[in-house]
Amino acid sequence: MALPTSGAISLNQMHTEVGGSSGTIASINDADIRALISKGSGATMSFNEWYGASSSLDSTTVTVGYRPAVHISYAGPWYGFLAGSSTGSASKTSVAWRSGASYTGLYGTQPGYLSGKWLMYVEINNGGGYGNSGWTSVTIDGTTYNRSAMTYFSHSGGMGWNIHTNYVAPYGSTTGATKSVVFN
C-alpha cells in the first residue's frame, strides 16, 4: 500500500512500506526508505515528501460491479471490474508496469464447471507480445496471489493471468464495495 497522502506520517510507516517489520529499528537515511522518494544518502528531506509514496509497482482501487452468468457451464457471475461491459470501475486503468497498456479486467468469476469455486483474473490490453513478466504478485484487499502460480494467456487484444481461489470470491460479492489492488 502507499503511504498516506495527508496528515502525519511515521518513520515506522515508511519502514513497513519498504518491507521492514513494524516496530524494528529504521532510519530515515536507510537506502530503501530514501528510494521511496529517490533521495541520495545524507540529502535534505522533509516527511511531507513521502506523501503517497509507495514501494509497489502499481495500485488501483476497484469499485465492484456485477455481471450475471452468460451460460451455466461457461462463466459467471463476474464481480470486479471489466472494461467495456459497464461492470465496475477502477480508479486508474493505466498499467504502470507495462508502458502503454491498460487494465481491461480485474475480477473474479465463478464458472459453472468449477462447482462453486472461483477464478481471479488480471487482464491488460496492448497486444499479446509482452509475455509473462512485469510483476511478481498482486494483492487484492490484503490477499496476495503470486504471478508464478497463475496461468498466463494471450490473445490478439491483450494478455492475462488467472488463478483458482477455491471457494473465495477475490472481490467479494457486494456491488459498490471498493477493493485495493496492489501490484509488486
pLDDT, mean of residues 161-174: 93
Q: Residue type at 149?
A: A
pLDDT, mean of residues 113-131: 81
Q: How far is residue 13's CA from residue 21's CA, in Å, rounded to a whole number?
A: 10
Query: Which of 165, 159, 182 lies closest to 79, judged by CA?
Result: 165
Average pLDDT, the chain: 86
Q: How far is residue 164's CA from residue 119's CA, in Å, rounded to a whole number?
A: 5
Q: How far is residue 175's CA from residue 147's CA, in Å, rounded to a whole number?
A: 26
Express each pLDDT in 66-95 by its tens digit.
998 776 556 678 899 999 888 999 999 998
Question: Phi and psi (nearest 5°) for 7?
Answer: 80, -165
Of 37-41, 136-140, 149-153, 161-165, the range with the lowest mean pLDDT is: 37-41
Asked if 107 and 171 touch (Cβ cutoff 8 Å), the reply is: yes
pLDDT above 60 for 7: yes
pLDDT of residue 73: 55
Confidence label for 142 from pLDDT (cuts 50, 70 and 90):
confident
Whole-prediction pTM: 0.73
pLDDT of residue 36: 76
- Residue 113: C-alpha distances to residues 32, 76, 162 (Å): 46, 10, 15
Q: Specify the higher pLDDT residue, 7 or 71.
A: 7
Q: How far is residue 101's CA from residue 4's CA, in Å, rounded to a whole number?
A: 27
Express each pLDDT in 9-40 by its tens digit.
888 888 887 778 888 998 888 888 887 777 78
pLDDT above 80 for 113: no
pLDDT, mean of residues 136-161: 90
